[in-house]
Amino acid sequence: MKIAIASGKGGTGKTSVAVNLALSLRDSVQILDCDADEPNVHTLLPLTQDQIQPVFTMVPEFDETKCTRSKNCSAFCPTHAIFVSDQGITFFPEICIGCGGCILSCPSQAIQEGQRQLGVLHQGMTAPGIEVVYGELDVGEPFVVPVIKAVKDQAKNSEGTVVLVDCPPGVSCPMVESVHGVDYCLLVTEPTPFGLHDLRLAVDTVRQLNIPIGVIVNRAGIGDQQVFTYCASEDIPILLEIPHSREIAELFSEGIPFTQRMPDWQSKFRELFQVIQEGIRK
C-alpha cells in the first residue's frame, strides 16, 4: 500500500506527518522522501547505515567521425541543447531533457546513449527499524524528476508493506511524479488563507490523477475556519487535526518527531491509518 503525503504549500508539516505516522505504525514501513530538492526525512530519522548510489539521466554522446552534419538532431531537439556547425557539435547537457529524439533522428548512427549524474540516492535503515530512501539533487542541477523516479523505483511492493511517500511542495511536475501511482493521498494544510489557497490547487491536481484524498489540518487553532468550510463543501474528509503548539514546534526545531515525546499521539496516527485503509477500499 502506498500513501503520499503532499501539500501544495511548503512547510505545512508533510515530513513531520510522514515520520510520525511511520513511527506510530513501526512494522513494515518504508518512507520514500521524494523532496529531492530539500530532503528532510533523514534529518528527523537519521540513517544508521547509508547506501549511496548515483542517479543518472540519459544524455547523447556524439561520435564526430560518423557525423554527416545532417543537423537532424539539432532540428529535432525540443530544448535546443544541440548546435551543429561545419566546425563540429556543441552540446549543452544542463538543458537536455533526455528524450532520446536526437538518437532516433540521426541518419548515420553518430549518437550513442550516454549518461550524466543528476544526484544521488540514499537508502538505509533507521534506529526504529524503518527503511528510508531519499534522493538528493546535485546543487545547480535544474531537473529533479529523474531523481524522484529513482527514489520511487525503490518502493517495496510486498503485500504487507506500507510505503509512505513524502512529496515536494507545489503542484507541478515534481509533485505529480511523486504522487503518481499511490493508493491514497494525504494533503497536509494549515488553516490560513495561504494554506487554503494551496490546498485547493493540490486537490485539483490530485483529483486529475483519480487518487482518493484526505486532509490533515496542522497548526489547528491559528487562522480561520475557511479550510474546514472548503473541505465540507468539497466532501473531503478531515482525518486529523494537529494543534498549534509551541512544544511540537520546539521538538521539531531539535529534529525530534513529536510522537516520540508525546506517545499518546501514536494511537491517533494509528486510527488515521485505519481510516485511510477504509478510504482505499471504497
Which residues contact another protein (rule: CB under 8 A)?
8-12, 15, 35, 37-38, 40, 43-44, 58, 76, 78, 97-101, 104-105, 137, 139-144, 168-176, 180, 192-194, 197-198, 201, 204-205, 208-209, 219, 222-224, 244, 246, 249-250, 252-255
Question: C-beta of 140: minimal distance to another protein in Å?
Answer: 4
Closest by CA to 44, choosing from 272, 198, 260, 277, is 260
Taking the least distance from each CB to another protein, the nearer of 11 and 88 is 11
Q: Which single residue is written with the C-alpha cell 486510527?
A: 271
Q: Are the CB atoms for 5 and 104 separated by under 8 Å?
A: no
Q: Alpha-carbon distance 126 to 235, whole Å? A: 37
Q: Alpha-carbon distance 57 to 62, whole Å? A: 16
Question: C-beta of 151: minimal distance to another protein in Å?
Answer: 14
Taking the least distance from each CB to another protein, the nearer of 245 and 266 is 245
Question: C-beta of 33: minimal distance to another protein in Å?
Answer: 11
Taking the least distance from each CB to another protein, the nearer of 140 and 160 is 140
Question: C-beta of 45: minimal distance to another protein in Å?
Answer: 11
Taking the least distance from each CB to another protein, the nearer of 35 and 131 is 35
Q: In what order do the strands lie in the sheet with 2-6?
A: 51-62, 111-125, 131-137, 29-33, 162-166, 2-6, 184-189, 213-220, 238-243
Q: Which single residue is written with the C-alpha cell 487535526?
A: 241
* β-strand partners of 131: 30, 125
Question: C-beta of 66: minimal distance to another protein in Å?
Answer: 20
Question: C-beta of 210: minimal distance to another protein in Å?
Answer: 11
Taking the least distance from each CB to another protein, the nearer of 37 and 131 is 37
Residue 117 has φ and ψ, to the nearest 5°, of -80, 135
Bridging pattern class, strands 51-62 and 111-125: antiparallel
Q: Alpha-carbon distance 131 to 229, whole Å? A: 37
